[in-house]
Amino acid sequence: MTNTDALDLHYTKLSPRGEVEGSYITPSTQLILKAAEALGVRWREIPGTRIFELQYNGTNKLFRYQISINTTDIGFYTCLDKSVTNTILKANEISVPNGFHLEKTDTEEYWLEAFHSLTKPTVIKPTHGNKGIGISVGVTEEADFLERVRAAFALFENDSEAGVIIEEQCQGEEFRVIATKGKVLGVLQRIPANVVGDGIHTIQELIAEKNTHPYRNIFESKLYPKIKADALTEEMLREQGLSLMSILEKNYQVFLRKVSNISQGGDSVDLTSQIHPTFAEVANKVANSLPGIDFMGIDIMTADIRQSVERSPYHVIEVNSSPGFDIHEFPMTGKRQFIALEFVLLAFPELRPRLATMTTEQLENLY
């Protein structure tokens, strides 16, 4: 694969038959490649590794997924193991959920001791892993707790890194902050899949209409997967006394899912310009506390990130060293944040002055 204007790129995989087309490159990674091109940075893939080489002015820098060029082994490891992340944040006086790290070699008695010492409900999650795999929320019963812990341990391929976290479940909304050391690049809230009535169309029609949104049709619909009118949706509607055939009043919003995942048809709202300075400070503190990482996604649970931390107490629940940021570049509501550009600038800071002279419109058209 070489430089190209087209989206929808795939990795090159090494197979017994030689180089073949591999998995789809996620939209966030593709955006980095496009931003690089826009800045006159050449790129190429190292086949079979998912590593990309960026080249500018005779200097080569490598990145993989959305892991910054400058992320070190320690930085990567710190975010890979959520228990390590928590420990370091806590030591730096950042609010994290109360909890403990369980090991496979612990006695069941110890697991229960940890469970009973915490306020219910609790959350159980594997120390490694992403996309919410193996995470159980709302765990209050002893038997259920033990079962969930065992299930989480079973997810590990390698026993030596197997660990499970039990922590108190925090209240509030989840906000995703993309940060570098010293700067908040984007703030976003995800909201569950929903439609808004117009007094004319059925819910089914509103879903179909919403699915024609351009953002739901680029990157092979992997950026914003389409909303599904499936059994789960029907059940959710039934709970609200509605069906797919119901016609909603004008401006009446109906939620189709309980979870806010984008993969489940959720929407996104950019709040970058509205983050309260005290929350920007929290993000900076997180960024400065973690050694060896200069680009990250910080998941914060709080009532409202636009309020001060005094009025809206918070918990940092996770830090991701390879954050997806495509939805920050294409928010359903709010302003586009040029995260991919910032990512490339972390590799080649000397290119920043070129951006200073550009208008927003020029930026919009850059990639």
Partner 1 sequence: MQRKYYTRQTVRGPQSDEVMGGSAILTLHEAEKYGMTTEEIPDTKIFKITYKDQAQYFRAQNPAQTTGIAFQASTDKNMGRSLLKRAGISISEGFTIKKSDPVEYWLEVFAALQKPLVVKPTNGTQGQSVFMNVAEEGAFRTAVRVCLQHTLHISAGAVVEEMFQGQEYRILASAAKIIGVINRRPANVVGDGTSTITQLIEQKNSDPRRGDDPNDVLVKIKVDNHVTSHIESQGLTLESIPEKDLRVFLRLNSNISTGGDSLDVTDQVHPTVIEVAQRAMAAFPGLAFAGIDFMTKDITAPQTPDSYVIVEVNDSPGYSIHDQPYEGKNRHGAYEFLCVIFPQLRNDFPQPLE
Q: Could you tell me the CA-to-CA distances from 97 to 109, 110, 236 in Å, in that order?
A: 22, 19, 30
CB of 283 vs partner 1, minimal distance in Å: 20
24 φ/ψ angles, rounded to the nearest 5 degrees: -65, 135
Q: Which stretch binds partner 1 (CB under 8 A): 29-37, 290-298, 339-347, 351-359?
A: 290-298
Tokens of 174: 């989840």
* Count of CB atoms situated within 10 Å of the CB of 31: 28
| Residue 225 interacting with partner 1 (CB under 8 A) | no
40 φ/ψ angles, rounded to the nearest 5 degrees: 80, 20
Q: Which of 73, 109, 235, 361 binds partner 1 (CB under 8 A)?
A: 73
Contact predicate 318/326, CB 8 Å: no
CB of 238 vs partner 1, minimal distance in Å: 33
Q: Which of 3, 8, 10, 15 binds partner 1 (CB under 8 A)?
A: 15
Q: Which of 4, 8, 42, 74 binds partner 1 (CB under 8 A)?
A: 74
- CA gap 252, 198 in Å, rounded: 8
- CA gap 51, 62 in Å, rounded: 7
Q: Which is nearer to partner 1, 157 or 310 (CB)?
A: 157
Residue with token string 């890194």? 161
CB of 193 vs partner 1, minimal distance in Å: 27
Contact predicate 25/39, CB 8 Å: no
| Residue 363 interacting with partner 1 (CB under 8 A) | no
| Residue 259 interacting with partner 1 (CB under 8 A) | no
32-71: contacts with partner 1 (CB under 8 A): 46-51, 62-64, 67-68, 71
Residue type, 316: V
Binding flags for partner 1, 97-126, as an x/- string (CB under 8 A):
---xx--------x--xx--x---------
Q: Which is nearer to partner 1, 163 or 334 (CB)?
A: 163
CB of 109 vs partner 1, minimal distance in Å: 11
Q: Which is nearer to partner 1, 60 or 365 (CB)?
A: 60
- CA gap 287, 274 in Å, rounded: 19
Helix residue spans in 214-348 (DSSP H)? 231-239, 277-289, 326-329, 339-347
| Residue 320 interacting with partner 1 (CB under 8 A) | no
Tokens of 339: 């995260």
Summarize as ranges the residues that interact with partner 1 (CB under 8 A).
Answer: 14-17, 46-51, 62-64, 67-68, 71-78, 81, 83-84, 87-88, 91, 100-101, 110, 113-114, 117, 154-158, 291-293, 321
